[in-house]
Amino acid sequence: MPIVGIDNLPISKELEKASLPQKCVMFFGQEGAGMSAEAVEVCTEVLAIRQYGSTRSMNASAAGAIAMFAWAQQHRPVE
């Protein structure tokens, strides 16, 4: 199963423009420290949540909610 890292690293692509796999694991780094080099290595891709201003990172639960919402926008059943 693909592992999608969520962290704002130089190699990250924009979450808002990404096509997320229907079945995947999302991997979030620690608040402040982010993802380790080993964690980045196991990821199929690493995505970043676009932020405005001088914020380096955001709360991990907020990042999780945003990433899961982005996934749901692409894969939720159409009613």
pLDDT at position 54, please? Answer: 61
The answer to whether 76 and 34 have CB atoms below 8 angstroms apart is no
Tell me the average pLDDT across 27-36. Answer: 88
pLDDT at position 58, please? Answer: 83
d(CA 19, CA 38): 24
Q: Which residue has the higher pLDDT, 53 or 3?
A: 3
Tell me the average pLDDT across 37-50. Answer: 96
Residues 6+ away with beta carbon under 8 Å from 54: none
Task: Check residue 8 and report its DSSP letter.
Answer: -
Whole-model pTM: value is 0.88
